[in-house]
Amino acid sequence: MTVRLGLIGTGTVGGGCLDILRNHKDEFRRHYGVDLEVVRVCSREPEVARSFGFADVFTSDYREVVTDPNVDLVIELIGGTTVAHDAVCEALRNGKAVVTANKALMATAGEEVFSLAEEHGVEVAFEASVGGGIPIIDPLKHSLIANRISKVMGIVNGTTNYMLTRMDEEGASYEEALADAQARGFAEADPSADVDGLDAAAKIAILSSIAFNSRVNLSDVHAEGIRNITTTDLQTARDMGYCVKLMAIGHRTDDGVDVRVHPTMIPLSHQMAKVNGVYNAIYVVGDAVGETMFFGEGAGAGPAASAVMGDVLEVARHIETGVTSFVGCTCTDSLPIVPMDDLETKYYIRFPVADRPGVLASMAGIFADFGVSIYSVVQRGQKEAGTVEVVYVTHVARERDIRAVVAKIASLDDVLHSEPSIIRVED
């Protein structure tokens, strides 16, 4: 049987998909009995379509793809939540299955997308939206479905992981690491989505929705990035037996779903501490399976296109046999989102302060005023410069109390007016 594809977007991932089809089309037919035929290609770059031999089916208008009666399955690879939203929703309304790599769309409009797919009896697949080539969506929806998942935690942004690795291993500053990531094509000219944790927030919203069978939107995720992390933080963490990673965390608690993205200290003995460079890893804990970890390259033409084409083949087989997804939207529970203020964990806090008598006593008194117990305090830096870095590690404390402590200490005359570094500790 021939399943006819309409591709919207021929950038890095779209070109990778066309490469896979060109190289493996005959194998797909022989192994899986599915003949994939590209009948429409939409792009702002007609020369890409021509280079792959699709000039005769090229269009610059996505509507010509999603309304074409000859298209069975639409592959959306343009990203964003504007044109991509319209393209995906219109394709579903026209009874076409959709494969997408669009994390922002699924994290903000997933409920609408799934409702349209169910209403029109078609399938939506989005493996490439999280973790690039790492299989994680499908395992959560199939292989691990017999488990009650208690935690999903991941390094899901390769750009920030590369930057933190360079800062940790080579002593590069944040600015140097960012410039290097941009030069290598890992970071955009505007790196905000990566370094401010927004990319990771969209991904953990998707993973948490599936893992906990409860709708988690991007707006539900507390997100902090790595702009305030310094080599001092990384060296201090290492001296304490930890490393610092930008972690995306979803946790099922008695009170609901705790979902957040922020720099996190994790023990050097943990498997996640060994995930360096542009690699991603996702750690899942289930009541039956125990601890599992999925590891691999999280971005790039090959890994992302691999995940997209895996979805295309699976959905094409369903089209061939006349079935829709075996496991569609599972967000049947309505668990509350736990407020960030209620988080309880250990904290690492670094303040730049004037090197004068009485400063530490004043700061310690503020911790005591808000009931925050100090585990350790370390002074770093050279006294000759007139300023030092004071690093506190607390026992388990509540987020709202830590925020109150930080605000009060920041108002002291002897505390320099740069934003303190706050890193949560996951043991």
For residue 419, give the DSSP letter.
P
Is position 158 annotated in a ligand binding site?
Answer: no
Half-sphere exposure of 209 (CA within 13 A, CB side): 27
The residue from 203, 245, 383, 408 that is catalytic is: 203
Q: Is 203 a catalytic residue?
A: yes
Is position 82 annotated in a ligand binding site?
Answer: no
Strand partners, 275: none
Helix or strand holding residue 351 (H, E):
strand 344-354
For residue 329, give the DSSP letter.
-
| Residue bearing tokens 């050279």 | 382
Euclidean distance between CA atoms 217 and 143, whole angstroms: 24
Euclidean distance between CA atoms 276 and 368, whole angstroms: 38
Is position 264 annotated in a ligand binding site?
Answer: no
What does DSSP say about strands 279-286 and 290-297: parallel, antiparallel, or unpaired?
Answer: antiparallel
Is position 277 annotated in a ligand binding site?
Answer: no
Euclidean distance between CA atoms 302 and 265, whole angstroms: 31
Q: Is 396 helix (H, G, I), strand (E, B) or coil?
A: coil
Please give the C-alpha separations between residue 40 and each of 16, 93, 128, in angstroms, as whole numbers.
16, 18, 21
Helices marked H in 120-187: 137-138, 158-170, 174-183
Is position 12 annotated in a ligand binding site?
Answer: yes
Is position 226 annotated in a ligand binding site?
Answer: no
Which pair of tokens denotes residue 251? 């946790």
Beta strands in 183-303 (DSSP E): 222-223, 242-253, 256-267, 279-286, 290-297
Euclidean distance between CA atoms 101 and 79, whole angstroms: 7
Helix or strand holding residue 155 (H, E):
strand 149-155
Is position 15 annotated in a ligand binding site?
Answer: yes
Euclidean distance between CA atoms 241 and 234, whole angstroms: 11
Which pair of tokens denotes residue 74? 């639409």
For residue 186, give the DSSP letter.
S
Is position 67 annotated in a ligand binding site?
Answer: no
Active site residues: 203
Binding-site residues: 8-15, 103, 188
Binding-site residues for L-homoserine: 188
Binding-site residues for NADPH: 103
Binding-site residues for NADP(+): 8-15
